[in-house]
Chains A and B, each alone.
Chain A
């Protein structure tokens, strides 16, 4: 009995090690190939120009349309999701404290919709557009992405708000504060760096997703100039360039992927740094 238990443990340990390192290897290969192929095609031209006619067949130009399009779409969607999400997360943690079952239900539903693939949000956004007779546009894409990142935004802020010690709520109430004052003046301040982390996390998801913008934001070679016009996004730009028969254009797709990866990397490093600072200040008292 004892002997076989030991063998089992060994086998599982080996499997775990293999799984861990093969995943790391795959990730390394992906990142390496993006860098290796992308860095060749990366140039000032590609970063600073919009596609010229015939760009997808090897003519000159760049992906500024997609960079600015993705940034403005993700920025708008993150802002909207924050404006809606923060009050919801505060409501759950400050106003609903006495309704344990309701809170559990809310969290369960949010986790459920978090798991829905983004193509479903895209399809939903598209059917709403048909219903309202709207064209693909920056606005439609923004609203769809907002819906897609809302559960991420709310639940990650919710997790942070749960770390506020109950003693702090007690202290605040005993000074004569009401629930809104506790929520907006104390909870938000206490968790400010965690909230920023939640925002950056949501932004990363917003900018990297292709399926939710596929039918809703459309695509264009122009720079974004109106909420009601279609807008280019990096994931779709990568897709179109990669579909080109011209190898040089495919390399540009990798350069675009590199740009997207670097944006997400930057955002996530930034939020990591904030997370560290957050934990430091927490130990402080």
Chain B
């Protein structure tokens, strides 16, 4: 069965002044799979991810051309509805950024933006998403504490819960385990595998083993270009391009 495409990226170019950060990117990201974007530091993975929910808007020096199609809408040409479009995509960044409010309100914030108003309903959903992110047992007695008091691993799970609470279809994750201890990392990885039944997941990483463990599809990038993309078996088992072989073989320079 052919997987259906969830995100369709066409001729995407990103410039920062004279420097070209992303060069003619064409990617199909399949629905309900984990697509891993793999590549050495500085190859443009984060920038690619930021194009998908147009956080590139925050960087005036970046110029973006091309198409990022999600649900038949070009994210790059969306007007005011970009605010709503972003709710299709939960974001998990390299470092957790809890909102400057209580643990409870970190989850409730997005729910309120979605129009959940009734207190009982709000509470029910906060509990549900904290449970889904395996955080409930650790925080159920401290919901009114500031989120910044949690450990980094807990904060990252809070950010996951917060992202899931706005009910996205896609999860964008930018090296979400790089700041975490091994146990928290393993938890996030396992969670992703579980979540892919309901979500389309785009995971950026430079950790080969992580990619091998959980990827369905792999996009290998180098210096702003997509070198190779395909299923994890294709790219890891039988890489076609020289650069990919070097990177996977660890003889990369």
Question: Which of A's residues lie within 8 Å of B, judged by CB?
Answer: 97-100, 165-178, 181, 185-186, 189-190, 192, 281, 284-285
Assembly CA distance A285 to B97 (angstroms): 8
B91 within 8 A of A: yes
Whether A171 pairs with B148 at a CB distance below 8 angstroms is: no
Task: Name the CB-closest residue of A to B159.
Answer: A171
Whether A166 pairs with B113 at a CB distance below 8 angstroms is: no
Whether A189 pairs with B101 at a CB distance below 8 angstroms is: yes
Task: Name the CB-closest residue of B to A179.
Answer: B83
Assembly CA distance A185 to B109 (angstroms): 10
Q: Assuming A176-B86, A176-B110, is B163 touching A167 (CB within 8 A)?
A: no
Assembly CA distance A178 to B96 (angstroms): 20
CB distance from A192 to the nearest CB of B (A): 8
CB distance from B94 to the nearest CB of A (A): 8
Whether A177 pairs with B93 at a CB distance below 8 angstroms is: no
Whether B166 pairs with A176 at a CB distance below 8 angstroms is: yes
Assembly CA distance A173 to B172 (angstroms): 13
Question: Which of B's residues lie within 8 Å of A, judged by CB?
Answer: 50, 53, 55, 57-58, 60, 83-84, 86-87, 89-91, 93, 95-101, 109-110, 113-114, 148-149, 155, 159, 162-163, 166, 172
CB distance from B112 to the nearest CB of A (A): 10
With beta carbons under 8 angstroms apart, the residue of B55, B57, B148, B166 that contacts A175 is B166
Whether B113 pairs with A181 at a CB distance below 8 angstroms is: yes
Assembly CA distance A284 to B98 (angstroms): 11
Whether B90 pairs with A100 at a CB distance below 8 angstroms is: no
Task: Name the CB-closest residue of B to A189.
Answer: B100
Assembly CA distance A181 to B114 (angstroms): 13
* Chain A residues, Cβ within 8 Å of B172: 174
Highest count of chain B CB atoms <10 Å: which of A168, A171, A173, A192: A171
* Chain B residues, Cβ within 8 Å of A173: 53, 55, 58, 83, 86
Whether B60 pairs with A171 at a CB distance below 8 angstroms is: no
CB distance from A141 to the nearest CB of B (A): 37
Highest count of chain A CB atoms <10 Å: which of B58, B89, B101, B159: B58
Whether A174 pairs with B113 at a CB distance below 8 angstroms is: no
With beta carbons under 8 angstroms apart, the residue of A98, A168, A176 that contacts B97 is A168
With beta carbons under 8 angstroms apart, the residue of A98, A178, A181 that contacts B57 is A98
Whether B90 pairs with A174 at a CB distance below 8 angstroms is: yes
Whether A175 pairs with B155 at a CB distance below 8 angstroms is: no
A sample of 18 inter-chain contacts (CB < 8 A) reads A97-B60, A165-B97, A166-B58, A171-B99, A171-B159, A172-B99, A173-B58, A173-B83, A174-B86, A174-B90, A175-B110, A175-B162, A175-B163, A177-B83, A181-B113, A189-B99, A281-B148, A285-B98
CB distance from B16 to the nearest CB of A (A): 13
CB distance from A96 to the nearest CB of B (A): 10
* Chain A residues, Cβ within 8 Å of B98: 285
Assembly CA distance A169 to B59 (angstroms): 11
* Chain B residues, Cβ within 8 Å of A192: 100
CB distance from B150 to the nearest CB of A (A): 9
CB distance from B246 to the nearest CB of A (A): 32
* Chain A residues, Cβ within 8 Å of B87: 175-176
CB distance from B82 to the nearest CB of A (A): 9
* Chain B residues, Cβ within 8 Å of A172: 99
Whether B163 pairs with A177 at a CB distance below 8 angstroms is: no
* Chain B residues, Cβ within 8 Å of A285: 96-98, 148, 155
Assembly CA distance A98 to B99 (angstroms): 23
Whether B60 pairs with A98 at a CB distance below 8 angstroms is: yes
CB distance from A85 to the nearest CB of B (A): 20
Task: Name the CB-closest residue of A to B85.
Answer: A176
CB distance from B211 to the nearest CB of A (A): 23
With beta carbons under 8 angstroms apart, the residue of B58, B60, B99, B114 that contacts A186 is B99
Assembly CA distance A100 to B17 (angstroms): 14
Whether A167 pairs with B97 at a CB distance below 8 angstroms is: yes
* Chain A residues, Cβ within 8 Å of B155: 285
Assembly CA distance A176 to B50 (angstroms): 15
Whether B60 pairs with A170 at a CB distance below 8 angstroms is: no
Task: Name the CB-closest residue of B to A167.
Answer: B97
CB distance from A33 to the nearest CB of B (A): 45
Assembly CA distance A185 to B105 (angstroms): 11
* Chain A residues, Cβ within 8 Å of B99: 168, 171-172, 186, 189
Known: A177-B109, A285-B155. 19 other contacts (CB 8 A): A99-B60, A167-B93, A168-B100, A174-B89, A174-B91, A174-B163, A174-B172, A175-B87, A176-B83, A176-B84, A176-B166, A177-B83, A181-B113, A185-B109, A189-B101, A192-B100, A284-B148, A285-B96, A285-B148
* Chain B residues, Cβ within 8 Å of A281: 148
